[in-house]
Structure 1
């Protein structure tokens, strides 16, 4: 925690709605994340429009995904070494120029697949650095007693960006092919301006050390592996997230096989996003009232029940409600886990630890569609949901029996573990 903030009584601290620096950080990141979600579909849609080649479309998608796997660990070490504010400013400036170049080329009537691949990879790489720095910066601009509320609002912000960003990207693409890229570039510019207006430091003072990237990455990974609860929880969640990646694909198959319109699929998926927003907003409530282990095992069990229930109905409204429930649980996991991780991790290790956590999540995201494609091709929608629900139930039982998950309240040397 920032040294000055920890000494102030919680009742003397301004509420977050009046915390100027937090509002600037939160709102700047909000438009930044929204721009990223707008571009998630803009790249492949633009390539498919110009080339009519699914292979070319997958090339730009892979370019956007690869940094999520390859850059996380070294980025975490570098973010811990460098000044967080400077990193975030440079990331937003770089993304503004990159996306602006695409808009300019398209307005001029040009198109280059190589240019788009380079921009997609660059934007995704800078997004990794920005996200790692922003997670570590939060606890330095809010009082410790406000940490869970701040992280809950951050999770809601990300879920809302996903809920509105991709449909918005499609609409902007329909207006003009350059429109989503210009919108995103302006969002990065607004985020850059917000960062420059923040007064507080984004990190504690650090003792300069001799740079050694491999040693720094190993140190952060070693610290994470030494935390029994966090290590075990990440292992179970990695498997759970992998299995959950199959669910939306199975819903697509069910709705298509039943002859429903594509617009109905958009409603079902949208309900999942809405559930995520609600889960994020209530995450702090769950974190305050229940032990980590209770939230974790209960959430895995709820996931299993919801997915098995999906296999019992083809009614779109019911599927949407159940899918919203999975998003709700996922957001609660993210908030509760983020509060625990940020609270126990030393400030100088935030980037490396968060990078490792994100790496596990990104890995699951990449493998999930492959698993889903294979199982859906072999079994179809309903049997796949039964298998996924059954595996989630087994995972929940294993988590309930895990001795490592009984250590969620173990103190970390040198880090206060107050429940506020």
Structure 2
């Protein structure tokens, strides 16, 4: 979590349900605090609330409704929809705030609350800190005649499908393509297969039978065996895999090989550059994106801007520098021309359009560069600050000297647990492994000193 925060982490509030911060009582208080924070101006205020398919979504949704209506804000319930759909409909419905109830790629026992401002962007640190402070206060409730109302809208899915299809030119069709769509039994289980089918493809949908407990369970972008097996067994042209709230995308080619976020950014970015649509001559990624991506973009005359890990930091760098394409190796794809947050379905349609227009097989089109050997290891520690230890600093300095000019080293403490993440990459796989192991050993020794 971010320093000094009890509730908000790097992506809203998240935790195990009915334990710690993720309770109905907390959700109601968040509704009251966020409602109070965004009660600006004299108009009738409203919030839109979407969710993924977790069992606890019903509990948290009702608690949030109670919180928002108790301070006088009207509620529009969207039902199960992707996170980017909530961001979109917050703007479309002229709402003052948007809420997504989801723990993304986590198992069903976890849940989370993500908040969006009226512009459809995730909240600023300033707004999150203000809401966090209000959670400890007794907030004024609305008079009896000013309590908010709640209603559910039935066409939210159709509105979102129309929006994601509008991100493509009208003459693009997917006729003749056989596409496996894995929705992780999550928020996109209805909209993603529908959007792809409406564009003319034959769709084989998997991970589309949510029961409240099977979200991300051996399916979706973090568990690719299902989509890989289905693509190969069905002779499909390509597979797309989303996570629980459908803000990230991993692709599988017709041979069942993984295409990660780095390759997808390379494809989308260079294709947009060729059309004169890539702003700033650069793509924004994180410190974890492969050196192979950086070298590939450089060969195309494009830059790679690196941000801290987390899609909020990618977005901050994009907005600050005026860039319109960014993402993470893990599959977050932020295309600011088409939305305000990561959108796996929009990114998937861009990839599918490129496949149609190229006339190539996915295996030919999507592997644009060879990643350099990359190794990430996590070292757990009990306390203290191992990275301040002189022996650890000496090991890091030695590793940097060994990799100089032919690799990269990224060492960072986890934002949510007592873990040091050690990542190195370079042209020599044996050297990469050796420097990672040396640093990990030094951290372990320092942690037990």
Query: Could you say which TM-score interval applies, normalised by the shorter chain?
Result: under 0.3
User: If the length of structure 2 is used for normalisation, what is the TM-score?
Assistant: 0.26
User: If the length of structure 1 is used for normalisation, what is the TM-score?
Assistant: 0.27
Higher-helix-fraction structure: 1
Q: Which has the larger radius of gyration?
A: 2
